Amino acid sequence: MSLVEPNKTTGLPLDLPVEELIVVPRRRYGIWIGIAVAMLFAFFIGRAFATNPAFDWGTAANYLFHPSIMRGLGKTLLLTVVIMAAAIVIGTIIAIMRVSPSAVLQTFASAYVWFFRGVPALIQLIFWFNLSLLFRTATLSIPGFGTVFSVNTNDFMTPFVSAVVALSLCEAGYLAEIIRAGIKSVPHGQFEAASGLGMSYRQILRRIILPQAMRFIVPPTGNEAISLLKMTSLVTFIAVDDLFYTAQSIYARTFETIPLLIVVAFWYLFVVTVMSIGQHFLERYYGRSDRRQENPVIRLLQSLLGSRKGRAQP
Amino acid sequence: MTSQAETRARFGVPPDAMVFARSVRKSYGSVEVLKGIDLTVPKGSVACIIGPSGSGKSTFLRCINHLEQLTGGVLLVDGEFVGYDLRDGKLYEVKDSLLCKRRADIGMVFQSFNLFSHMTVMENLIEAPTRVRGVPVAEAKASAEVLLARVGLSDKASRYPRELSGGQQQRVAIARALAMNPKVLLFDEPTSALDPELVGEVLQVMRDLAESGMTMVVVTHEIGFAREVGDDLIFMDEGVIIERGAPREVIANPKSARTREFLSRVL
Ligand SMILES: Nc1ncnc2c1ncn2[C@@H]1O[C@H](COP(=O)(O)OP(=O)(O)OP(=O)(O)O)[C@@H](O)[C@H]1O
Ligand SMILES: [Mg+2]
């Protein structure tokens, strides 16, 4: 005899908790078909890669740690780091000008963003490389004092310097917009509270506004860094010996085009993966004041797979 | 003659006046929001300002600590202009560093708390003392702990603002303002954003402050608080002061019809 009166229609006890019942999931045929198709594709693609002799995996493996490739990779990383650092500094200055109360500074900053974001990076790159066509020499002279120094443009506008200047200025245009949006996202009350406490404009920016803006700035900046890493391959056009240029000069000799492209792709993917992990930890750091208890492994995976919300591609 | 002495003599500022406003005007473009405010808040007293929405109460408070610039009149805190120096009959705008220094003496508590959301409670409290006044961190922390005890939040020092209730956040905001040892505290509707059951704890902290002799200018809709704690009650409407007096007196027999009408709505 049961204490619980059975339900007339189902014959089950009335207060049987749901978790004790067997739950039969809804059949999701669409998903199963999708999975089958995807696996089929994966199989064919994998087989094509594995069995097609043109891929020549053995050659690719031999070149993976080739000294020239390593030097090229080093150059690519160096370019990325230097350009990103310069672009962050310039971008922050431009962004602060854009939110400043001065109309002149605002206009200047807007014009900067308009120009450097609007002209394709490759054109800017080649332009800076050919600066000597515009100015043969760079001269600093002070009226009444004479010439302080004068150098041949070609002497200091080496391909490497041209690449750094061109891509920093271009990247700064994008970063300025990201940083400005971040600054704007901080509620105005924060500024007022800090002013009311007697903090100066500089202190407020540095201690109150920018740290809070970082939460909005870091994710898209991570994307920028990743796309910059790939964008540096443009320097091949002005003969900077980066990863891609090095690979090109090898396969121009040996005709092992596909294996070397595989090596290049591998290294770009590898660096991007490492950068994504770094970005994840940066995001965690700047989001520490509103962190919910989340599984860090899941978050890491999500950020690697790029499936997080609010991560627009540039 | 020092700027302060010249100022006091010139405008006839009573020696005990903490806030001294004469014909204060403020316009945004062509809209005049404050149309000549005269008000003296003596040291150690509590002035409560009431009035309908849009009457210019917040604007007046923001003028006191120079978050807004006046378009006319004179506003002195402790016998000094906040944003200017009077020399030889001319008002010179002061350097930013001096403006910051003077603002640091005027505490402000906002309706929306405005705690620095990326800092813990303790960091919120020591930020301005260490950065603006150059107090050593250890010393600032020690005083912050005393202040937190005073507002009943000793156990929350390492929490972030979003982990606190509204009432707790507002008490931290009060402690943060107190950490600068201000001469005067301005409150802009400090309890309006709070759930009714949290209003009491914030008012209690303010009541204790008033008892300790802090000069306070409080914009509020809490008529009960104004009656018990206020030394003066000021009713503002459309940018002018309509009526002022001892709170009990104003609340019991308002002289102006507009005051009567406003009180009948909020009481
Ligand atoms: N920055 C500004 N620019 C233009 N107008 C403003 C600005 N700030 C306030 N005002 C106007 O000034 C008037 C007074 O505003 P204020 O905030 O001082 O009113 P209040 O008495 O505090 O009202 P409430 O009780 O709603 O807070 C309002 O009509 C408002 O629209
Ligand atoms: Mg207001």
Q: Which of A2-16, B66-80, B244-258 has the lowest mean pLDDT?
A: A2-16
Lowest mean pLDDT among A24-33, A101-110, A184-193, B104-113: A24-33
Partners of B176 on chain A (C-beta within 8 Å) are 197
**Biggest CA pair distance of chain B:** 55
Percent of chain B with pLDDT over 70: 99
For residue B189, give how far its alpha carbon lies from the nearest alpha carbon of chain A (Å). 14
* Highest mean pLDDT (candidates A158-162, A286-290, B135-139): B135-139
Residue A142: pLDDT above 90? no
Cross-chain residue pair B117–A290, CB shorter than 8 Å? yes
Q: Does B5 touch chain A (CB under 8 A)?
A: no
Averaged pLDDT, A24-32: 83
pLDDT digits (tens, 9 = 90+) for A242-271: 999 999 999 999 988 888 999 999 999 999
* Residue B66 · residue A198 · CB < 8 Å: no
Q: Which of B117, B147, B164 to mutate to test the interface with A (most CBs of A within 10 A)?
A: B117
**In the predicted model, is pLDDT for residue B163 greater than 90?**
yes
pLDDT score of A224 more than 80 = yes
Q: What confidence category does residue A304 fall into, taking pLDDT thresholds of 50, 70 and 90?
A: low
CB contact under 8 A, B116 and A190: yes
Query: What is the count of residue pairs from A and B with beta carbons less than 8 Å apart?
Result: 75
Nearest CA in chain B to A186: B117
Q: pLDDT value at position A300? A: 60
More confident of the two residues B255 and A312:
B255
Quick: pLDDT tens for A157-172: 788 999 999 999 999 9
Cβ atoms B99, B83 nearer than 8 A: yes
| Residues at CB less than 6 angstroms from ligand 1 | B 28, 33, 51, 53-59
Supply the pLDDT for residue A305. Answer: 56
Instruction: Please determine, for residue A85, whether its predicted confidence score (pLDDT) is greater than 80.
Output: yes
Q: What is the pLDDT of residues B82-101, one digit of tens each?
A: 999 888 888 899 999 999 99
Sign of CA dihedral B28, B32, B38, B42: negative
For residue B69, give the ligand nearest its CA: 1
Q: Which of A143-147, B43-47, B97-101, B219-223 has the lowest mean pLDDT?
A: A143-147
What is residue A89's predicted lDDT score, i.e. its pLDDT? 96
The residues, any chain, with a CB within 8 Å of residue A66's CB and separated by 6 or more, are: A250, A263
Tokens at A77, concatenated: 């990383």
pLDDT at B181 over 50: yes
B104-109 average pLDDT score = 96
Look at residue B197 and tell me whether its pLDDT is greater than 70: yes
Q: What's the whole-number average pLDDT of chain B?
A: 93
pLDDT tens, residue by residue, B1-16? 566 777 888 888 998 9
Most B CBs within 10 Å, among A197, A205, A210, A288, to test the B interface: A197
Across the range A91-106, mean pLDDT stands at 94
Pocket test for ligand 1, best of B58, B222, B235 (most atoms within 8 A of CB): B58
Percent of chain A with pLDDT over 70: 86
Selected residues 207-226 of chain A with any CB under 8 Å from a CB in chain B: 207-208, 211-212, 215
pLDDT at A228: 94
Nearest to B108 by CA among B64, B56, B159, B160: B64
Flag whether residue B134 sits within 8 Å of chain A, measured between CB atoms. no
Task: Note the pLDDT of residue A18.
Answer: 63
Give the model confidence (pLDDT) of A39-52 as tens digits. 999 999 888 888 88
The nearest alpha carbon in chain B to A287 belongs to B118
A120 pLDDT more than 60: yes
At residue A310 the predicted structure's pLDDT band, cuts being 50, 70 and 90, is: very low
pLDDT score recorded for residue A293? 46
B29 CA closest ligand 1 atom index:
4
| Cβ atoms within 10 Å, residue A201 | 16
DSSP per position, chain A: --SSPBPTTT-SBTT--GGGSPP-PPP-HHHHHHHHHHHHHHHHHHHHHHH-GGG-HHHHHHHHT-HHHHHHHHHHHHHHHHHHHHHHHHHHHHHHHHHSS-HHHHHHHHHHHHHHHHS-HHHHHHHHHTHHHH-SEEEEEETTTEEEEEEEHHHH--HHHHHHHHHHHHHHHHHHHHHHHHHHTS-HHHHHHHHHTT--HHHIIIIIIHHHHHHHHHHHHHHHHHHHHHHGGGGGGGT---HHHHHHHHHHHH--HHHHHHHHHHHHHHHHHHHHHHHHHHHHHHTGGG-----HHHHHHHHHHT--TT----
Query: Given the structure tokens 């309509």, which residue do they identify?
Result: B242
Ligand 1 atom closest to the Cα of residue B52 is: 25
- pLDDT in the model for residue A19: 64
Q: How far is CA B199 from the centre of its chain?
A: 18
- A143 against A90, higher pLDDT: A90
